[in-house]
Structure 1
Amino acid sequence: MPGKTHFLIFDTEGGPCGIAWTAAGVVRFQLPGDDAATTCRLLLRHLPEAEAADPPPAIAETVAAVKRYFAGEQADFSKVPLDLAGQSAFFRAIYDAARRVHWGETTTYGTIARDLGAGPEMAREVGQAMAKNPVALIIPCHRVLAAGGKVGGFSAPGGASSKLKMLALEGISFEQPEPAQQSFGF
């Protein structure tokens, strides 16, 4: 990672989030935790050298977008500069593909694998990349589902429940449809 790493813990309607950045861009994002101390601990677990700081303009804009997102307003993170220097080229390609999945849309691990020219057997690797996503929400791994449109896992605090809440903010529901009117057998 180029230069120093800085971080900020900030409140949203979903709870306290954390963001860490270098001169190159966002290096880590922490989804809401139970409290600011927990969020900070989770963020710094991966970046013990990071120092608290006021954000530069691009990071401040990202923080404002995150606040809008957790208030239920549409937010686009596709142009947020990222520092993914520690990631493999394959993971970076997966993350680029995931960033093209916009608000209110979903895709599957298999679809991303296919779009990258890999066979369906690579869906598992796509899932591994999503599980290791260092900037969840900014790279919208919550929009990437398992086969058949099933929710699948989510490695953020709250697990799949958090994924469902984030998707609900975007108008995506996984409620079961009401059963069709039953026939009387006539």
Structure 2
Amino acid sequence: MVAALFDTAIGLCAVAWRDDTVVRFQLPEASEEQTLARITRPFGGQPVAEGEPGPAIVAAIAGVRAHLAGTVDALRWIDVDLPGVPEFHRAVYAVTRDIDPGHTLSYGDIATRIGAPGSAQAVGQALGRNPIPLIIPCHRVLAADHALHGFSAPGGIGTKARLLEIERTPGFGEPMLF
């Protein structure tokens, strides 16, 4: 598996891939060293080394950069792979990936959509382990009261709010009339 760091409008991000498929994504950490350490930690018992991306990953990086600069894109065209991820988590990620930019669902909404009503907390735990944030847009999932509770990515709920603001999600980054 191979990884690369790249600059974006919100800071230094990183991506790891196998062949032409993204297997891990990293939002900016406090430093380049921390971002690099996080993206290159062993994955499934395999080492991850820095390398040069091929055309599919170059396109994915360009898409992420454009998205974070305000050219909003659902990024569903980026191929992802979730080796070793439990089936419940895969179901959560599939529903989450279908949430359009500028829209949100609650943890309970996702639980209901995967046929597991009442499992909102388990949905939250699955999203907290999302190996491909932004591309699998866990930041678009809110609490039932639409509040920003917990976000395991670097920067916590501040990062989540910033991502929602970039996507022009109503109620984030713009003044309210009422």
TM-score relative to the length of structure 2: 0.91
**Equivalent position to 2:67, from 52, 66, 69:** 69
**Equivalent position to 1:38, from 5, 12, 34:** 34
**Equivalent position to 2:157, from 155, 160, 163:** 160
1:26 equivalent in structure 2:
22
Q: Percent of aligned pairs with the same residue?
A: 40
2:82 equivalent in structure 1:
84
Tell me the amino acid that sits aligned with residue 19 of structure 2.
A
* Mean Cα deviation higher: 150-159 or 168-177: 168-177
Q: Is the 2:40–2:50 contact (alpha carbons within 8 Å) kept by the matching residues of 1?
A: no
Deviations 1:54-88 (A, max 9, x none): 11221111100111112111122112111201101
Tell me the amino acid that sits aligned with residue 123 of structure 1.
A
Deviations 1:134-177 (A, max 9, x none): 00001000000111211121001110011001101111234784
For 1:29-178, list aligned pairs within 5 A. 29-47=25-43, 49-119=47-117, 121-172=118-169, 173-174=171-172, 177=176
RMSD (Å) for aligned C-alpha atoms: 1.7
Q: How many residues align?
A: 174
Distance 1:78 1:176 in 2: 30
Deviation at residue 44 of structure 1 after TM alignment: 2.1
Bigger Rg, structure 1 or 2: 1
In structure 1, stretches of 5+ residues that fail to align are 180-186
TM-score relative to the length of structure 1: 0.87
Deviations 1:1-29 (A, max 9, x none): xxxx0000011111000000112621110
In structure 2, stretches of 5+ residues that fail to align are none
| SS at 1:163 equivalent | helix
Deviation at residue 37 of structure 1 after TM alignment: 1.7
